[in-house]
Structure 1
Amino acid sequence: MKLTTICYIEKDGKTLMLYRNKKKDDIHEGKYVGVGGKFEQGETPEDCVIREVKEETGLTLNSLTYKGLITFPKFKNDEDWYMFLYFSDDFEGNLSEKDLDDCKEGKLIWVDNDKIFDLNMWEGDRLFLNWAKTDKVFSAKIIYNNGKLEDYGVNFLT
């Protein structure tokens, strides 16, 4: 089982997206995703997402909005992945052109919010990004089979 986080960082009508194109054997290669990663020993979800955002972007998150937990059964090598989803528009730091290219995972790009769904992304990301637009926290399951969306379900919590 893998525990992961992802954060969509927003500023001036744009969202910071990561185009994954640098790591060998990257399951996300060629896709646009938010910024995040896997937990380290002893981390809370918030610890993890704050550390990952700092490592990958140099930005310091000041506050987070938790939107939900997504379960991906047998996502990679028959391992279940659990992903904690966050948004933030409260951060410190700036990204220069060099910073945008220097991320070890891929290229960071500020994308107009109305253009995000035009990007090559996981089909399930489109689902949970829409669910995140509600005022409710959710718990979801997104099932892929050989990289293709097979099924999904979501529960909105009160």
Structure 2
Amino acid sequence: MSITYKMYTMCMVQDKDKVLLMNRPDKMGFPGYIAPGGKVDFPESIVNGAIREVREETGLIVKDIVYKGLEEFCDPSKQLRYMVFNYLATSFEGQLLENPPEGELLWVSKEDALKLPMQDWFARRFPLFFEDGTFELSYVWDENRDQTLDKTERQYRSKSSISL
């Protein structure tokens, strides 16, 4: 049985103390508030996939974009590895779409964002976008038993932030 790899992006768009989230309806899957993102098209680069997804879902063109980390889910019973490459964009141009395709868009303070209804995995990942360095979250998941079999959760701090 061959292994299937699925590659996605997520890009948190930040404007001073606010972030842009979209409220995905149930019919879209992953209902609740979430950052823009989606599938990486072959053969585009992962960062270009993130920039494209933000533009398609919000109308904004992100400028200053920084890689923040990887979250992946592996399901051995399906031979599936689902990878999400996460970015933070702190500048952009353009106007928000009036009728966004993935759900209503909302600028919300970072402080209030976690009070909104959202998926548990997104709530867990949310603060990591704003911490120094990068993160790596990896979960081996058994969908049939609805159980995590193994996990790796790491943060890598930049050397400039390490005190001696």
TM normalised by structure 2 equals 0.78
Measure, in 2, the Cα distance between the counterparts of 1:149 and 1:135.
31
1:138 aligned residue: 135
Corresponding residue SS for 2:114: helix
Instruction: Report the counterpart of residue 83 of structure 1 in structure 2.
Output: 84
Number of equivalences: 148
**Residue in 2 that maps onto 1:16:** 20
Percent identity for Structure 1 against Structure 2 = 29
1:122 is matched with: 119
Q: Which amino acid aligns with 2:29?
A: I
Question: Aligned pair in 2 of structure 1 residues 12, 134: CA closer, same or farther (>3 Å)?
Answer: closer
Question: Deviation of residue 64 (structure 1)?
Answer: 0.5
Instruction: Report the structure number with the largest CA radius of gyration.
Output: 2
> How far off its partner does 1:94 sit?
2.4
Tell me which of 100, 104, 107 is aligned to 2:101. Answer: 104
Provide, for residues 76-99 of structure 1, a one-character-per-residue CA deviation record: whole Å limited to 9, x for no partner. x7743100001111111122xxx2
Distance in 2 between the 1:41 and 1:140 partners?
24
User: 2 CA distance for matches of 1:111 and 1:156?
Assistant: 26
Instruction: Indicate yes or no: 2:6 matched with 1:2.
Output: yes
Give 2:112's aligned amino acid: K
Unmatched tracts of structure 1, length 5 or more: none
Cα drift, residue 12 of structure 1: 3.4
Q: CA deviation at 1:47?
A: 0.8
Equivalent AA in structure 2 for residue 94 of structure 1: Q
Structure 2 unaligned blocks of 5 or more: 158-164
Which of 26, 29, 47 is matched with 1:27 structurally? Answer: 29
Where 1:132 maps in the other structure, the secondary structure is helix
Shift of 1:154: 1.1
Note if contact 1:123-1:149 (Cα within 8 Å) is conserved in structure 2: no
Tell me: CA distance 1:31–1:78, structure 2 relative to 1, closer, same or farther (3 Å).
Answer: farther
RMSD: 2.3
Quick check: 1:7–1:85 contact (8 Å CA) kept in 2? yes
Normalising to structure 1: TM-score of the pair? 0.81
- CA gap of 1:125–1:142, structure 2 versus 1, over 3 A, is farther
Q: Are residue 156 (structure 1) and residue 158 (structure 2) matched?
A: no
Amino acid at match of 1:113: K
- The one-letter code sitting in structure 2 at the alignment partner of 1:86 is Y
